[in-house]
Structure 1
């Protein structure tokens, strides 16, 4: 086995092992998003996002395992199929990354705004609709404590540290909508970082697979000449 062929093969095996680990990380992250979404009173699209992330993680793991098999068997057909799979996966991830970025800027804000408007309407009718978010995110009202003042409602205990509103400094002043948007943006940032690491790795993987394919092809030609 030539040095270039051996190097390409070993690097491809190592890279696909890393892909497998990152795919598992994506699956775990998707499950975390689904679990978090299950606790929220209003659906902000997290259920769909979690399902897509899990599906992407599963696809990456499957392609990575296939890539390892293609490298071990040194099969030209499998290597070509692996390269095509990587190209399709890269395009898919670029689309998802663009959608996530645009969603964070536009659709996400609109969805969160509509969701918290509905929660505030429920809060006015039956106090306590925002309690979960106020306890979890350490916030108060949709926009600030002024929301309760406008409806002439006492600030609830969930708006205060340790549920003690007697101390002024214990009162959370930031609104829950802004806090929740920051929380979702953090999730999208994490997903974006992992996605770009995968995309760069997949481009390198496609190049290594092509190098291995070329080495196997050239070796087959040399063997035919000797026959």
Structure 2
């Protein structure tokens, strides 16, 4: 029984540590990749992952101290956070604002800031280089690879709206994947917390006799 308890305790500490590190990595990912999560979900995401880090640390402390109360508290909160996290991830994926990229391109186009986007994302116009032709405007150098318009083949074929939508969709997916993995770890840590609490209680009972 003692060997089993030790194994579960070590597993709990290791997985809670991994959970905390993964949550930190997810927070950094959201912060660095602006637009990976819709603006209205930025703060909730930070709060949830910060709480996961907190309770993962509490889980490690609870396992080391063999505290039944802390172990149960940590396990319950991790389970609740995993359910909340899954719900929010599903909402974000289902309600992903596909207009996000379009809005950025439209704003850049209206304020003559499209050149920066075209060079960064290797795109041309809102939908294509035809946007310039239809307006009788010269296609800017930012629409060409290396800003070299000597060769017509150097022109970027894709519009910036498509490029940015794809970029944000990819970044959203990367955050979603880490969120799913974190949620799974939370459930596993919850199960380990339940097993630990049972083992700690049994150990206390044996010590009373």
Cα drift, residue 196 of structure 1: 1.2
Displacement of 1:174: 0.2
Structure 1 gap ranges (5+): 38-43
Distance (Å, rounded) in 2 between the aligned partners of 1:31 and 1:130: 24
Provide the C-alpha distance between the structure 2 equivalents of 1:197 and 1:90, rounded to a whole number of angstroms: 10
Give unpaired runs (5+ residues) of structure 2: none
Q: Does 1:154 align with 2:143?
A: no
Question: 1:201 Cα deviation (Å)?
Answer: 1.1
Tell me the CA shift for residue 27 of structure 1.
2.2
Deviation of 1:56 (Å): 3.3
Match of 2:163 among 179, 183, 189: 179
State how many pairs are aligned.
Answer: 209
1:71 aligns with 2:60: no
Q: In the alignment, does 2:101 pair up with 1:112?
A: yes
Structure 1 residue 10 and structure 2 residue 10: aligned? yes
2:74 alignment partner, one of 42, 60, 82? 82
Aligned counterparts of 2:148 and 2:102: Cα–Cα separation in 1: 28
Deviations 1:137-190 (CA, angstroms, capped at 9, x unpaired):
000011001111111111111111111112111100100011001111111111
Asked whether the 8 Å contact 1:25–1:57 carries over to 2, the reply is: no
Q: CA deviation at 1:197?
A: 1.0
Contact 1:26 1:56 (C-alpha < 8 Å) held by counterparts? no
Instruction: Tell me if structure 2 keeps the 8 A contact 1:26–1:53.
Output: no
Counterpart contact for 1:86–1:206, Cα < 8 Å: yes
CA-to-partner distance for each residue in 1:59-112, whole Å, 9 max, x for gaps? 2221111110111111111111101111111012112211221133xxx11333
Contact preservation (8 Å) 2:59, 2:74? yes
Task: After the TM superposition, list the runs of 4 or more consecutive aligned residues in structure 1 that deviate by more than 6 angstroms.
Answer: none
SS at match of 2:173: helix
The TM-score, its normalising length taken from structure 2, stands at 0.91
Q: Which has the higher contact order (CA 8 A, sep 6+)?
A: 2
The reply on whether 1:143 has 2:127 as its aligned counterpart is yes
Deviations 1:109-131 (A, max 9, x none): 133334433443x15xxxx3211
Q: Please say if residues 144 and 156 of structure 2, whose CA atoms lie closer than 8 Å, have aligned partners that are also in contact.
A: yes
**d(CA) in 2 for partners of 1:94 and 1:19?**
15
| Correspondence 1:197 to 2:186 | no
Residue 47 of structure 1, CA deviation: 4.8
Give RMSD over aligned pairs.
Answer: 2.0
